[in-house]
Chains A and B, each alone.
Chain A
Amino acid sequence: MSERVEQVFEVLNERGLHARPVTQIVQAASRYRCDVELERDSQRANAKSVMGMLLLVCHKGSKVTVRATGADAAQAVAAIGELFAARFGER
């Protein structure tokens, strides 16, 4: 069963999606079999690609859509959503 789940999150941490948060997102996304992507201002990046997400250049306050397609899509979006909510462990 393929499902598609998406949700918008705001980047809350001071320094935006720099290398550390992006690494956390890839690590989280890679635990799921579904495809996951991030979208900001209609630019997209694979959530399993560090380079791709760095190229999205998400600053604090950016609204980012997390979109997953596949069997475990809901869990993947939830897991990534938790990272956003926790500000990736930063201030």
Chain B
Amino acid sequence: MNTGVTRRLHGIAASPGVAVGTAYVIDRRKVNIHRRHIAAHEVDTEIGRLHSAVAVARQQLQQIRERIAPEASEHSVILDAHLLMLDDALLTDQTVDAIRNELVNAEWALRNTVEKIKELFDNVGDDYFRERRSDVDFVGERVLRQLMGTPTELPRPADLDGPVVLVAHELSPADTAALARSEVLAFVTDGGSSTSHTAIMARALSIPAILGVADATRLIATGDTLIVDGLRGTVTVSPSDADADAAGERGRRYMAFVRSLRSNRDEPTRTRDGVRITLRANIELPAEAPVAIDHGADGIGLYRTEFLYVDRREPPPEDEQYETYRRIVETMAPRTVTLRTFDIGGDKFSTAFRLPKEMNPALGLRAVRLALREREVFRAQLRAMLRAARHGSVRVMVPMISTVSELREARAELERAQHELTSAGIPWAPVPFGIMVETPSAVFMADVLARESAFFSIGTNDLIQYSLATDRGNEHVAHLARSLDPAILRALAAVSQSAAAAGIPCALCGAMAGELLALPLLVGLGVHELSVEPTAVPEIKSALARIDYREAVTLVGEVAMLSTAVEVESLVRARYEHVFSDLLANGEVGTFTETGTFVLPELLAPR
């Protein structure tokens, strides 16, 4: 059902690739409700419609509840609450009253009641309780959809006629997980960011995703032909046949390119002159572990455990965490898995902790600082990690260390966790205990910290933000946040030298590890453990194999004479642009930053 009018929509390229296919729009946003006056004799019919809509909604929720895995108990609790809300007198009685007294249709009465209840929640001073209005909304929407005959559920894959491009307002992790790869060609969503679950899942499935496309669900209709360009961040609605063919061809070329890169998956990562580099993957979801293996990663260099803490009211129970870590550790064995203790606070808000609003969250109560305030929660996580360590090769690292005392206190908690397990008779295994180096103070103290850490892992995103005092999210200053700034290179050199002097490994798991032009410098600086997005592993492995270690060391020496980021960038580009030309120029093979942003080669090599 092509409208014929071609239009191009823009969004965040959250997963690379190009797909051409038919749109399947799942619109779960607010439905338009029309007010209709009813006659007195219609009142009972309307009330009857309301009750049967509630009954169907109840049945649906019960079915979902049964499908939920028992370990997801937190979700069951929410669904139980939703089920009870369906029958809540506040909702149903008020709606029935409105139908009867105001002589309006059930949809209008229900919508007004929901709005009134939400207003009550809006006036609550406490964040947690105020946020419950979203539960009211959720329940109200479900009944409304039922009343209006619009589907509430994602289509089961069987309902989809052939492979489609899924267009939705937002997809929950459950939605995306339920969709098997064969049925979906690409994702397009109104909301979301490159770090959202949809983005992660799309990359894990190796299908393109464009997120944050304003009004996608309104501008795209089911049946429209779409080009989803995950390399450029565009969605073309109703393209010409020629454009669709060209896009299909680009998609195939990209796939072939990815496949050719992936042919190196079983080869060890080493420089051209044979220096071994350990190339691991950064993951957030357990489902990404097989993806990391599939792309030839040497292990997990960063597992972001925050995912376990978001969208829940209580920190995750120790046993649940243990099972999750264990699954990843067993999947990856014998490869090493680096578990990072929760990095919550700052921009990563979690409802599991009641975090106070802060004027300056990046400098506030976050990561290890929060862990040392919530020591019970911290130790529960450490215990789960120690238990999981029995099932493979595990190391544990603590984020945002800014003083040596913090490291010591964190270690004391680790030791306490070990004692607790021992005295409870629960088996565990010792773990190398390392730190993220991502604050300037940790750089200054790197020599001392190195003596007390089993390894370093440099988090370049925060290190750049704090060292250059620059918020990358602020468009007015973002240009200052350059990873090849001489200040950053000096910091990396200091950290790497301190690690080498203490004989500990120095890893880097920030976005910089995925930047092609940064690689020669990292290799030359002696940072020989890198960790990138799982799907970026083949490309980085291929790039590393073209770098000569001795040349890289020489390059570092030359760069040390330079004074500005632009000078460094020009020199590196002059030396390495031709070396990486296919990676940079094959069109659109870019890299992922730590936050999952797809960086187009144009940005790496403007011409």
Contact = CB atoms under 8 A, between A and B. Distances in A.
Interface stretch (B81-89, B407-415, B553-561): B81-89
Contacts of B120: 55
Contacts of A50: 81, 84-85, 88
B129 to A, nearest CB: 5
Interface stretch (A22-30, A63-71, A73-81): A22-30
15 contacts: A15-B128, A18-B128, A18-B129, A18-B313, A19-B313, A20-B77, A22-B81, A23-B80, A46-B90, A48-B89, A49-B88, A50-B84, A51-B91, A55-B120, A57-B129
Given A50-B88, A55-B129, A23 B81 contact: yes
Interface in B72-104: 77-78, 80-81, 84-85, 88-91
Interface string B120-139: 11001110110010011000
A80 to B, nearest CB: 15
Contact of A19 (B77, B89, B125): B77
A90 B314 contact: yes
Interface string A22-66: 110011000000000000000000101111101101010000000
B121 to A, nearest CB: 7
A81 B117 CA distance: 28
Contacts of B84: 23, 26-27, 50
Contacts of B129: 18, 54-55, 57
Interface residues of B, number: 23
A89 to B, nearest CB: 11
B124 A19 contact: no
A19 B90 contact: no
Contacts, number: 56
Contact of B77 (A15, A23, A59): A23
Contacts of B126: 57, 59
Contacts of B91: 51
A33 to B, nearest CB: 15
A20 B129 CA distance: 12
Contacts of A59: 126
Contacts of A20: 77, 81, 313
A19 to B, nearest CB: 5
A50 B83 CA distance: 10
Contacts of A15: 128, 313-314
A25 B88 CA distance: 13
A19 B124 CA distance: 15
A15 B78 CA distance: 15
A51 B88 contact: yes
Nearest to B126: A57
Given A50-B85, A51-B90, 19 more contacts: A15-B128, A18-B128, A19-B78, A19-B135, A23-B77, A23-B80, A23-B84, A46-B90, A49-B88, A49-B89, A51-B88, A51-B132, A52-B88, A54-B121, A54-B129, A54-B132, A57-B124, A57-B129, A90-B314
Counting chain B CB atoms within 10 Å of each CB, which of A15, A19, A27 scores highest? A19
Interface string B423-448: 00000000000000000000000000
B128 A49 contact: no
Contacts of A26: 84
